[in-house]
Amino acid sequence: MLLQIKNLHVSINGKEILRGINLEVNKGEVHAIMGPNGTGKSTLANVIAGKEGYEITQGEILYNGKDIQKMPPEVRAQEGIFLGFQYPVEIPGVSMTNFMRTSLNEIRKYHGQEPIPAKEFLARMAEKKELVEITAKLTNRSVNEGFSGGEKKKNEIYQMAMLEPQLAILDETDSGLDIDALRIVANGVNKLKTSENATVVITHYQRLLDYIVPDFVHVLFEGKVVLSGGKELALELEEKGYDWIKKETEKR
């Protein structure tokens, strides 16, 4: 099992956001986590990636069977966890090329590998750019600086393509995208899928799932996974709306 989350409780400044999450992700699977705003979707993504400011009060996160709670974020990344950010930050003056090379080489170093030869690196960049239909110019610019919303999201998928993570968590990658960008992003994700990796797509809308077909859909509500099912669950959700979830939960 690639990722196993057991009874995870998380608080921010003493306020409980996640209230007992259980989730199991195997290699070769695509999972979608859906739910209304403010139910803890991004919190879950950030906690898996190791962002500061979250307190795990109960439960555990196992990645490849290892408890990663004490692992610094960069080590989690080096171990193969990738987070596609909802709001990618700008880093002025640092070119995408330099950023990616630094990133790739730090990950290689962790695995005892030599830095990637320049020629190989450039070839890889060219190949992956094509995958997400990114123009050459974008990679010469500073990280996310002056990128449009769509370009930023494409850039996240591009980085995922470059780093080839084992577990990719895409946090609202579809938000703010027009249909074309959405198709490109989804295409990228689909093409990167192998039997050795897994993707967790976090989304508010069913729309993205027209392009990325999940093996499992989980509905997150008030800090808990309240419903899990196959891809048809997403359609049902789309049809009935999140109010249906609220009512279902209240019934219990």
Asked whether position 78 contacts another protein by CB under 8 A, the answer is yes
Judged by CB under 8 A, which of 92, 112, 117, 146 binds another protein?
92
Binding of residue 51 to another protein (CB under 8 A): yes
**What DSSP letter does each residue of 43-101 carry, written as one string?**
HHHHHHHT-TT-EEEEEEEEETTEE-TTS-HHHHHHTTEEEE-SSPPPEEEEEHHHHHH
> Smallest distance from the beta carbon of 192 to another protein, in angstroms?
16
**Who's near 7: CB < 8 A, 6+ residues apart?**
20, 21, 22, 58, 59, 60
Distance between CA 46 and CA 132 in Å, rounded?
24
Residue 70 CB neighbour total at 10 angstroms:
7
Report the DSSP beta bridge partners of residue 19. 9
**Per CB under 8 A, 120 contacts another protein:** no
Work out whether 147 is an interface residue with another protein (CB under 8 A): no
State yes or no: residue 59 binds another protein (CB under 8 A). no
Beta carbon nearer to another protein, 170 or 209: 170
Amino acid in the structure at residue 169: I
Q: Can you tell me the distance from the alpha carbon of 160 to that of 132, in angstroms, rounded to the nearest whole number?
A: 10
Would you count residue 106 as binding another protein (CB under 8 A)?
yes
Q: Which helix (H) or strand (E) holds 42?
A: helix 41-49
Site for another protein in 192-221 (CB under 8 A): none
- Residue 107 within binding range of another protein, rule CB under 8 A: yes
Q: With respect to another protein, which residue has the nearer C-beta, 134 or 227?
A: 134
Instruction: Decide whether 76 or 237 has the Cβ nearer to another protein.
Output: 76
Exactly one of 83, 189, 192, 202 binds another protein (CB under 8 A); which one?
83
- Interface with another protein, residue 74, by CB under 8 A: yes
Q: With binding defined as CB under 8 A, does residue 115 bind another protein? A: no
Reduced to 3 states, what is the DSSP secondary structure of residue 211?
Answer: coil
- The interface with another protein within residues 18-47 (CB under 8 A) comprises none
What distance, in Å, lies between the first and last C-alpha atoms of the chain?
31
Cβ neighbours around 139 below 10 Å, total: 19
The minimum distance between CB 76 and another protein, in angstroms, equals 8
In the complex, which residues of this chain contact another protein (CB under 8 A)? 49-52, 72-74, 77-78, 82-83, 85, 88-89, 91-94, 98-99, 102-104, 106-107, 110, 142, 159, 163
